[in-house]
């Protein structure tokens, strides 16, 4: 299992995990879930239950670069272009466009 911590405006919001079988889980931290802060994404509403998916959640996939930027990042970082989780962990750190970023655990 590989994990990244998801932040919204600098506040830890949850953990995104990829399992060996290729499935994904997103879980809000208790503190974030109980706060008045908004959910990470409309498609990931705040709830106690874990969000599960057979593929990377579309919201997180949307944070990834495309086209030539994607090819350059993968070549430079030596990441397979189809390894979306590793791309997310390595390229969507602080400084992303928008309020959400991730950091490896």
pLDDT tens, position by position, 22-75: 999 999 999 999 999 999 999 999 998 999 999 999 999 999 999 999 999 999
What is the model's pLDDT at position 19? 97
Q: Kindly report the CA angle at 59 between 58 and 65, in degrees rounded to 5? A: 90
Rounded to an integer, what distance in angstroms lies between the CA atom of residue 105 and that of residue 101?
Answer: 13
Long-range interactions of 32-36: CB distance < 8 A, separation 24+: 32/8
Given strand 11-18, what is the order of strands in its sheet? 51-53, 24-28, 11-18, 2-8, 100-104
- pTM to 2 decimal places: 0.92
Rounded to an integer, what distance in angstroms lies between the CA atom of residue 40 and that of residue 59?
Answer: 9
Could you tell me the pLDDT band of residue 90, with boundaries at 50, 70 and 90? Answer: very high
- Compute the Cα dihedral for 5, 25, 89, 63 and give only its sign: negative
């Amino acid at each position: 299992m590989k994990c990244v911590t998801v932040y919204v405006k600098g506040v830890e919001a949850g953990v995104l995990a990829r399992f060996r079988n290729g499935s994904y889980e997103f879980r809000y931290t208790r503190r974030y879930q109980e706060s008045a802060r908004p959910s990470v994404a409309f498609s990931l509403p705040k709830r106690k239950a874990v969000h599960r998916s057979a593929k990377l959640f579309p919201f997180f996939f949307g944070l990834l670069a495309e086209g030539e930027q994607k090819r350059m990042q993968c070549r430079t970082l030596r990441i397979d272009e189809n390894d979306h989780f590793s791309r997310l962990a390595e390229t969507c750190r602080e400084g992303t466009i928008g309020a959400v970023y991730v950091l490896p655990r």
